[in-house]
Amino acid sequence: MTSERVFVFVDEEELFSVMKDADCLYCRIPVTASKQHLKKRHLRFAIYYKDAGIGRFSIPCYCSDGGHGRSHWHCPMCSKILHRTQNYKIHITNHGVEMTDKSSVSDGNKLRFVSKFSPLPAELQPTTVLLESLQTHSEDKTPGSKAACQKCGILFTTTSNLRRHERLQHGQDQQPILCILLCELEECWDFMKAQAQSGNPGKECRHLVRTNHAQHYVPPPPLSVRSLEEMRDKHLLSASEKHECQEMNSRACVQGVDCVYPVFWGEHDLPERCVFFSVYTDLEDKWCQFGRTRVSFDSKSGSWKCLCKHKRSRCVHKCLCMWWLFQERPELLQDALDVHPERALNDDLC
């Protein structure tokens, strides 16, 4: 008989009694839920808080609900799944609970958890409540007992946790990155799965870690029909190319997305010879799984490259990028925009 999964407990014994050495309900692969397994894999990373004056804790889960075997948290209040520990803490705090340290009462060498199911005898009742918020707890601690982040003031019990926090949240020594929705490399999936199975929940690949330094989104200047008309007048685009660009830009505006989003790496002190563009396609295919394609422009050679499956020399995605550069950065184009008299003549005859 399979027990129902519970994601919040008042003490360790309650967790052990739910399992009783059966298969672990919180792991994706079958493994015996021994006390050693529960302590190493789940209790080690438990999050403690106080709800209605009662100390409780939640444990991380590794079931298939998290995707690719990643560690995650199930909110016991609303059944929402969160993948990051900090996000889970913020989420349950919004439900009205109070974050605490690990709540315990010691009797000699004996450590016993406060539980509503097994209250302490009168002679062992503490004279003060040990469940306090992290903020109150930190104020009562003597100076030097905890290491504080110099930038945001968060306290850490170990210097290694502090260094990791400063590296991930305030580090500025890594290459810039704009956005990663989901790491698509299978080797990264295997890496995170192996880390989760070895007792490191929340471990992410280097690509996802870099998203902590992602820049805030700033919309690029929109494309102007006036500049498109100017390109047409100078015979830099054919009539059909002009119409196709205008139609694509209109569809992007209806969808509420950027038709052309440029990336200038020179702004990050990196080589600025090549300019990259994320271009709207209004399609979902192998080469544009997110409805966008990537176009690159070499400002030295004047050459263009596109992931588009069409192999013609000028596709609509390149023309859209030419439009944006002609409008915003014409100095980069130089001789990249060539005028073909025969194209202009054919357009005039049509």
Phi, psi (degrees; rounded to nearest 5) at 6: -125, 135
Say how many C-beta atoms besides its own lie within 10 A of residue 335's C-beta.
6
State percent of the chain over pLDDT 70: 74
Tokens of 286: 């192998």
What token pair was written down for 307? 């992931």
What pLDDT score does 262 carry? 92
What global pTM score does this model have?
0.42
Q: Each residue of 89-118: pLDDT tens digit?
A: 889 888 888 888 775 433 333 333 333 334
**Which residues of the chain carry a pLDDT beneath 70?**
1-3, 21, 67-69, 103-145, 169-182, 201, 266-271, 311-312, 335-350
Question: Which among 204, 151, 208 is positioned nearest to 177, based on CA atoms?
Answer: 208
Helix axes 225-233, 316-328, angle to 10 degrees: 100
- pLDDT for position 171: 62
Work out the end-to-end distance of the chain between its first and last CA atoms, rounded to an integer number of angstroms.
Answer: 77
Give the position of tokens 């003597």: 142
pLDDT score, position 338: 55
What is the model's pLDDT at position 18? Answer: 79
DSSP E strands: which ranges in the chain?
8-9, 47-51, 54-58, 73-74, 81-82, 98-99, 105-107, 110-112, 147-148, 155-156, 260-264, 274-280, 292-298, 304-306
